[in-house]
Amino acid sequence: MIVVEVMPKPELLDPAGKATLGAIRRLGPTAIEGVRIGKRFELSIDGPVTPAVLAEVRALAEDLLSNAVIEDVVSVHLATSEDLLDELDEGASGETR
């Protein structure tokens, strides 16, 4: 599985992030001073993940999964073993994301 993470460009306002920060602050004192909300895509791949496949997915992310005017593709990487374990745990419990 390949994970693609997309975030709003840093210079743009993030209203959902601001609202979330406000909710966090209402819960009590915290060291959190900012929240930005992005998108995460999980792509299942048929076959081995080679550098060419990662490059193809990055191009797809730039062209289709993100809006280049307001977002940056910040990461295209193989899922970690922790990601895969979380997925297995969710499947066993019947939870979905």
pLDDT in single tens digits along all 97 residues of the chain: 999 999 999 999 999 999 999 999 999 878 999 999 999 999 999 999 999 999 999 999 999 999 999 999 999 999 876 666 565 566 666 655 4
pLDDT of 97 reads: 44
Task: Name the residue type at position 87.
Answer: E
Q: Is residue 18 part of a domain?
A: no
Token code pair at residue 7: 């975030």
Residue 29 located in a structural domain = no
pLDDT of the residue at 63: 96
Domain total for the chain? 1
Residue 45 inside a domain? The answer is yes
16 within some domain: no
DSSP code of residue 34: -
Domain containing 65 equals 2-8+37-93
CB 76 within 8 A of CB 6: no
The answer to the question of residue 82 being in a domain is yes
Please count the CA atoms within 13 angstroms of the CA of 5 that sit on its side-chain side.
9
Specify which residues 7 forms β-bridges with: 72
> Which residues are paired to 73 by β-bridges?
6
DSSP bridge pairs for 29 = none
Q: Is residue 79 domain-resident? A: yes
